[in-house]
Homo-oligomer: A and B are copies of this chain.
C-alpha cells in the first residue's frame, strides 16, 4: 500500500491514489520540480506549502513601496545629500554648493528623496529647506556601514 504524508489524517477517505502519493489533486508543475529535488514527494509537498505560505505573506504593493525607499538611497549623490542632512536642515542652494552639482540635478534628486519619504521640505519665502524625515534614515545608513564592513 502507498504511504501518504504523515501530516494528513490517518483516517482520511481512501480516494483513488492512482499515481499521486501525496494528494488527490495533481501537484502544481513548479512543485513537481521540488518533488524531484527532494526525492520524496511528501517532503516536496511540505516544502512547497511552506514556500507558498511565505510568498503569500509578501504583499506586492508593500514590496514596491519598500523597494522605492531603497532605490531612493541607492544613488551616491542622494546618499551624500542624506549624510549632509544628518547635521541639520539645508536649502537647495547650500546642498548644490557643498556637493558641487548643477541646480537642476540637485533639485531633481531632492524630489526623489521627498517622494520616497526620506526627507521633508519646508518652504520659507523663496527658499526650500530640506531635512531628514525620520531617525530611521540615519539608522539605515549605519546599517549599510555595518554591512559594508562585515
Binding site for B on A (CB under 8 A): 30-31, 33-34, 37, 47-48, 50-52, 54-55, 57-58, 62-71, 73-76, 79-80, 83-84, 87, 91, 93-94, 97-100, 116-118, 133-134, 136-137, 139-141, 143-148, 150
Contact of A148 among B31, B65, B98, B141 (CB under 8 A): B65
Whether A66 lies near B97 (C-beta < 8 A) is: no
Query: Chain B residues with Cβ under 8 A from A87's Cβ?
Result: 50, 54
Whether B148 lies near A66 (C-beta < 8 A) is: yes
Whether B148 lies near A134 (C-beta < 8 A) is: no
A94 to B66 CA separation, bound complex (whole angstroms): 23
Whether B70 lies near A30 (C-beta < 8 A) is: no
Residue of B nearest to A141 (CB): B66
Q: List 20 A-B contacts (CB under 8 A).
A: A34-B94, A48-B97, A50-B87, A51-B98, A52-B98, A58-B83, A64-B76, A65-B148, A66-B145, A67-B76, A67-B79, A70-B140, A71-B75, A117-B150, A133-B147, A136-B147, A137-B147, A139-B143, A140-B140, A143-B143
Query: Chain B residues with Cβ under 8 A from A80's Cβ?
Result: 55, 58, 63
Contact of A47 among B73, B75, B94 (CB under 8 A): B94
Whether A144 lies near B70 (C-beta < 8 A) is: yes
Whether B67 lies near A73 (C-beta < 8 A) is: yes
